[in-house]
Every structure is written in C-alpha cells, then in structure tokens.
Amino acid sequence: MATAMQIWQYSSPVEKIEDSLTIKDQVPIPSHSSLGKDELLIKVITASINPVDYKLPESGIIGRIMIPNPATPGLDFCGRVVDKHSTITRFEEGQLVFGSFAAHKQLGTLAQYTVVSAACCALLPEGINPSDGAAVGTAATTAYQSLMPYKLPSAANIFINGGSGGVGTWAIQLAKAMGAKVTTTCSTRNLELCQHLGADNVVDYTKNDVTEFLKQQGAVYDLVIDNVGNRPDLYDNSHLMLKAGGTFVQVGVGESMSLKGIASTMKKQIWPFGPPRFYFVNMKNSTEFFQVIGRWMAEGRVKPVIAAQFDWKDVPEAFRQLQEGRSPGKIVVNVSQDL
C-alpha cells in the first residue's frame, strides 16, 4: 500500500471555502499503529459534500473551535477497508463500505485515505455503486432521524419544507417508504422531481407564501420538518399546523452558523412554553441507520438523487455549485480509483 496521499485542505481565516482550498501532496497515510479501537482506515473512492461542510469553516470562531485548522472538509464517503484495529471483527480488509462521520474531524473525507469509526458505516449492498453509496451519508441519516421512525404514527401526515435538496430528496422517499402522506415545498423547476420522488402534494414557494398556505390547511400534520431554516415564522405558527401532540423538527440552520442562531435553536429545545414540541436533528450516524437505508436502496424503495459529480481536481467548483443552493439532491466527488 502507498505511504502518502493527496488531501484537500483549508486554513484560517476562511471567507469562501472554495477560495481557500488547496491540494496537499505527500501527506502521510495514517499508520496501523495510529488506529484506535473501533477505527478503520478507508481508501476513499467517492465522497459527497453538505452545506455544513462550508458553513462551519466560514462561521468564524465557532468553526475554529469545532475544527482546528488546517483541516480537510467532508463527512460522507464510500470506500474500501484497507486496514483496521485488531479489535474489529465485523469488517474485513477489502470490503466496500459507506457511511459518514458522526462529528467533524480535521481529516475529513476529501482525502484519498481517511480514518472512520466502524460504528458510523455499513457494508455497501451488492448492486449499489460507490457514487450512490457516498450520496447517502449525512443527508439520508439526517432525513431518517427527522422522521422520528420510532414515534411516527402509521399513515402519518408530514410536511417537509425544502424537498429538493440533499436532505429533502431523501426525506420524501423515506417518509413514503414508512407509509406517510407527504406535502413538500420546492421551486418551480423542481416540482416534477419532488412529484417523481413520491410527494403527494408539492407547493411552489416562488408562487405561494408557505406559512400562509400551511395556516390555511389547518392543524392537519403529525410532523413538520424544516430543512431550510430561514423562516422563523414557520415554527412560530406551527401550533396552527400541527395536530395535538405533533412535533416541529428543525434540520436547516439558514445561510450561516452564528452564535445568535445557535442560541435561538437551543432556546426552542429547552423552552417549555409556546408552540408545539421542538426537536433539532444533530448528526447521529450509526451502522443501523446505514443498514436500513442500504437495504431499502437494494430493494428499490429509495435512491439517491445526484445533482452533479465532480473530478478530484474540481473540488472548489463542487463547493461553488453547492453554495448556489439550487442543485437538487447531492453533489458527489470522485476521489480515487477503486483497488
């Protein structure tokens, strides 16, 4: 096996991540002795990127506290196990796996090799290609958790704000796989996509005031999921949209990650008065989540929506497209050739 690799890396301060990223050559590949218990060394074949991959580095002191610089972005991956800690028995060298970090690390997945916890990945099912495997990651597991699968009533009525993004395209499909009725929002050009994914009703937010539309519908929803995060009035009026005992789930954090925004989210979580129950989805990836989603992919019940696929040398352009916020589904990066 090679002893050195390439990585994409940014350093502080970061205004626009696409302008701060550079390729670093001859970076040592993590050694066998450096692997902790439950850790795998993965040769990354494909990776996908998420809004948090640029929002955190661009958030100033918050980003620097959470991820010391210099750092390599990326949470999601599909790759092959090339080494493992001796305590791991459920994965073998040579197996294809897919998954996502449970938290940001200095060495993310935009690296030719990375170290991941065995608890945050699963075997890639037969017939699923590495591009689709990488497009699961944080978006799919976030969507899965936002649907609160262990609490969701049968034939639930769900509203999803933002149905055409990375999380939204997964949420529509997963909700339908769980037997729910789905109403979602998107722009005019993505109406057909959301309908194709299974949404029962699609609201064009460029032609309708979403909050007013929901208020007119009345308290008919078991679950309201906000994947966008730029409409405070959505939560403020959620008591007019949700059935008794319903829950408002926040996924999106708006255009930036600020102390004010984080404080507002925390207040909603702990404040006992006001609108209905509030739940903020944190990154909680697990082998179980990936196994469920992988099985449903293999069965044809869900599939990733890939907006674009970029070569390794074009990572800054991939982030540029992601920042535009108009790409339906996921953006995937080809990191290296398979073994």
* Predicted pLDDT at 60: 80
Per-residue pLDDT band at 318 (split at 50, 70, 90): very high
* Predicted pLDDT at 266: 47
pLDDT beyond 50 at 135: yes
Share of the chain above pLDDT 70, in %: 92
Per-residue pLDDT band at 284 (split at 50, 70, 90): confident
pTM listed for this prediction = 0.91
Q: What pLDDT, in 10s, does the model give residues 54-75?
A: 998 998 877 778 888 899 999 9
In DSSP notation, 53-68 reads HHHTGGGTHHHHHHSP
Element (H, E) at 289: helix 287-298
Q: 208, 195, 201: which is closest to 157 by C-alpha? A: 201
What is the arithmetic mean of pLDDT over 122-149?
Answer: 95
What is the arithmetic mean of pLDDT over 146-158?
Answer: 87
* Predicted pLDDT at 270: 42
* Predicted pLDDT at 280: 84
Question: Would the CA dihedral through 313, 317, 323, 326 be positive or negative?
Answer: negative
Angle (nearest 5°) at CA 164 between 226 and 259: 40
Give Dmax (Cα) for the chain: 62
Question: Would the CA dihedral through 13, 14, 20, 25 be positive or negative?
Answer: positive
**Residue spans per domain, the chain:** 4-136+304-334, 140-280
* Predicted pLDDT at 273: 47
Q: What pLDDT, in 10s, does the model give residues 216-275?
A: 999 999 999 999 988 889 999 999 999 998 999 999 665 544 445 544 444 444 444 455
Helices (H) and strands (E) in the chain, counts: 12, 15
Higher per-residue confidence, 31 vs 64: 31
* Predicted pLDDT at 275: 58
Least confident range from 81-85, 151-155, 209-213, 272-276: namely 272-276
The crossing angle, in degrees rounded to 10, of helices 137-146 and 166-177 is 50
Q: How far is CA 286 from CA 41, 84, 100, in A?
A: 17, 18, 9
pLDDT beyond 60 at 132: yes
* Predicted pLDDT at 231: 84
What is the arithmetic mean of pLDDT over 2-23?
Answer: 92
Per-residue pLDDT band at 167 (split at 50, 70, 90): very high
Higher per-residue confidence, 200 vs 69: 200
Class of domain 4-136+304-334: alpha beta
Q: What pLDDT, in 10s, does the model give residues 84-105?
A: 999 999 999 999 999 999 888 8
What is the arithmetic mean of pLDDT over 285-300?
Answer: 96
* Predicted pLDDT at 198: 98
- CATH number of this structure's domain 140-280: 3.40.50.720
Per-residue pLDDT band at 36 (split at 50, 70, 90): very high
What is the arithmetic mean of pLDDT over 13-23?
Answer: 90
Asked if 4-136+304-334 and 140-280 have one fold, the answer is: no
